[in-house]
């Protein structure tokens, strides 16, 4: 959500941001709407002021036993005019709000401009891509051969994009989630949170899923939205609040299931459990001051990277281009993990600085000591990391020729000391 005052002061910057997003300039239209709205508002306020004064006079005169008929008639006339103006003003205000809330965040000056992922820039690559003396298999084949992954049966009871995991493989997924959560809370200073998985409209609006992306979400029969990421609940934990500067940054993490309809991705990644309607993800959220948010983005990305490093998974960090970034983001780094079975890097995490974009939508503010008024906080979110995809990455990177999977050192304590998963 844009700050209308900022648009008034930086119309050309506003248009440039839209252009980099592949959209038409709008500043002229927005400023015209804004001007009309404000002149309406001023006229309306003058009427309200007059009405208030006259009404107060009525009270006064009545007390003194005077005659109030003529004043009441006067107020009546004002009221009639007000009703019309009021309606028009509300309409104008709603139109501006609807337009502004449908526009994506401005891309930061530091990120590449481009229409889509082709313009993304690889920032760095870490880890060693493993070599195999055999042709490495994809995770779904490995899982099926082990007898621990059943997509077919899941399809029978739930349809496409669901999976059963069994035995040690199910435990490995749980181990990954616990390992991530423990690492973020004990080493990275994040506070563990347990959050609602179902939210109302206003929360989904706050983080930017609504109104534009409702078709990507699942909704219950009584109107709740299933969270597509814990970002929704974690970030909205400060919705409507005025925080103290000394309490920032807030660093929050939660391990939750995520629910996505995957409406726009029919036919993509249909094999195995790469793209599911339901998956676990450890989410990181930071609430910061405006001056700290860019440093926090670097820090958050490192926290997510640390998980992949500890797991011994090779990956690259990609700075997303203006055309590939999500709706709410100001700057985004994706972490792409190496998948030997697919022989390429695939997204496993996305860390974004949303600036004040979400904070304005949910009215999350902070106060500086000694300063009057409030400012919106900056919000950041990142996957730290997607658990289902981490499972895939571990399976494919740690596979042996006989189809067994070596368990990474850091996960063994979570696996009761088990070192390898093999068919029994």
Partner RNA sequence: GGAAAGGUGGCAGAGUGGUCGAAUGCGGCAGACUCGAAAUCUGUUGUACAACUUGUUUGUACCGAGGGUUCGAAUCCCUCCCUUUCCGCCA
Residues in the site for RNA, rule: CB under 7 A?
4-5, 38, 41-42, 45-46, 48-49, 51-56, 58-60, 62, 72, 75-76, 79, 242, 365, 367, 372-374
CB of 84 to RNA, least distance (A): 13
In the bound state with RNA, the residue whose beta carbon lies nearer, of 236 and 349, is 236
Distance CA 322, CA 91 (A): 32
Distance CA 361, CA 204 (A): 10
In the bound state with RNA, the residue whose beta carbon lies nearer, of 4 and 311, is 4
CB of 196 to RNA, least distance (A): 11
Place of tokens 């248009």: 15
Token digits for 90?
A: 């509300």
In the bound state with RNA, the residue whose beta carbon lies nearer, of 54 and 415, is 54
CB of 88 to RNA, least distance (A): 14
Environment class of residue 315 by beta-carbon count within 10 Å: exposed (0-12), middle (13-18) or buried (19+)?
buried
Token digits for 199?
A: 């939210």
In the bound state with RNA, the residue whose beta carbon lies nearer, of 75 and 227, is 75
In the bound state with RNA, the residue whose beta carbon lies nearer, of 54 and 406, is 54
In the bound state with RNA, the residue whose beta carbon lies nearer, of 82 and 176, is 82
In the bound state with RNA, the residue whose beta carbon lies nearer, of 351 and 359, is 359
Which residues is 347 bridged to in the sheet? 336
CB of 247 to RNA, least distance (A): 13
CB of 275 to RNA, least distance (A): 30
CB of 315 to RNA, least distance (A): 38
In the bound state with RNA, the residue whose beta carbon lies nearer, of 69 and 291, is 69
In the bound state with RNA, the residue whose beta carbon lies nearer, of 149 and 203, is 203
CB of 78 to RNA, least distance (A): 8
In the bound state with RNA, the residue whose beta carbon lies nearer, of 56 and 263, is 56
What are the two backbone dihedrals, phi and then psi, of residue 79, each rounded to the nearest 5 degrees?
Answer: -60, -40
Token digits for 357?
A: 């974009």
CB of 240 to RNA, least distance (A): 10
Question: What are the Cα distances from residue 131, in Å, to 75, 83, 136, 341, 396?
Answer: 85, 75, 9, 12, 12
CB of 48 to RNA, least distance (A): 4
CB of 236 to RNA, least distance (A): 14
């Amino acid at each position: 959500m844009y700050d209308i005052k900022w648009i008034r002061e930086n119309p050309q910057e506003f248009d440039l941001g839209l252009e980099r997003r592949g959209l038409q300039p709008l500043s002229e239209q927005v400023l015209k709407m804004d001007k009309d709205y404000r002149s309406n508002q001023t006229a309306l306020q003058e009427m309200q002021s007059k009405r208030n004064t006259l009404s107060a006079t009525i009270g006064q005169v009545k007390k003194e036993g005077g005659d109030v008929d003529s004043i009441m008639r006067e107020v009546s006339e004002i009221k009639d005019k007000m009703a019309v103006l009021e309606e028009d003003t509300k309409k104008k205000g709603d139109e501006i709000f609807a337009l502004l809330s449908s526009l994506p965040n401005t891309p930061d000056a530091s990120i590449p401009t481009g229409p889509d992922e082709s313009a993304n820039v690889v920032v760095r690559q870490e880890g060693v891509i493993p070599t195999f003396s055999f042709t490495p298999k994809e995770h779904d084949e490995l899982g099926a051969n082990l007898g621990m992954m059943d997509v077919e049966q899941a399809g029978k009871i739930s349809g496409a994009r669901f999976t059963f995991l069994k035995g040690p493989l199910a435990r490995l997924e749980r181990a990954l989630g616990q390992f991530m959560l423990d690492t973020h809370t004990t080493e990275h200073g994040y506070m563990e949170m347990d959050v609602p998985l179902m939210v109302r409209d206003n929360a989904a609006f706050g983080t930017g899923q609504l109104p534009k992306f409702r078709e990507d979400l699942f909704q219950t029969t009584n109107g709740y939205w299933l969270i597509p990421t814990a970002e929704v609940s974690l970030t909205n934990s400060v919705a409507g609040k005025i925080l103290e500067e000394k309490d920032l940054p807030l660093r929050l993490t939660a391990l939750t299931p995520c629910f996505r309809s995957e409406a726009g991705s029919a036919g993509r990644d249909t094999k195995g459990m790469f793209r599911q309607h339901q998956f676990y993800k450890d989410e990181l959220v930071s609430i910061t001051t405006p001056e700290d948010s860019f440093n926090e983005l670097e820090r958050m990305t490192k926290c997510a990277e640390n998980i992949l490093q500890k797991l011994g998974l090779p990956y690259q960090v990609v700075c997303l281009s203006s055309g590939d970034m999500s709706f709410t983001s100001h700057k985004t780094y994706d972490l792409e993990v190496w998948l030997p079975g697919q022989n390429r890097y695939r997204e496993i995490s996305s860390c974004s600085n949303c600036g004040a974009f979400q904070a304005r939508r949910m009215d999350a503010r902070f106060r500086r000591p000694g300063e009057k008024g409030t400012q919106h906080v900056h919000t950041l979110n990142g996957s730290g990391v997607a658990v289902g995809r981490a499972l895939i990455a571990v399976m494919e990177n740690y596979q042996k020729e006989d189809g067994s999977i070596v368990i990474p050192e850091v996960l063994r304590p979570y696996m009761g000391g088990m070192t390898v998963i093999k068919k029994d």
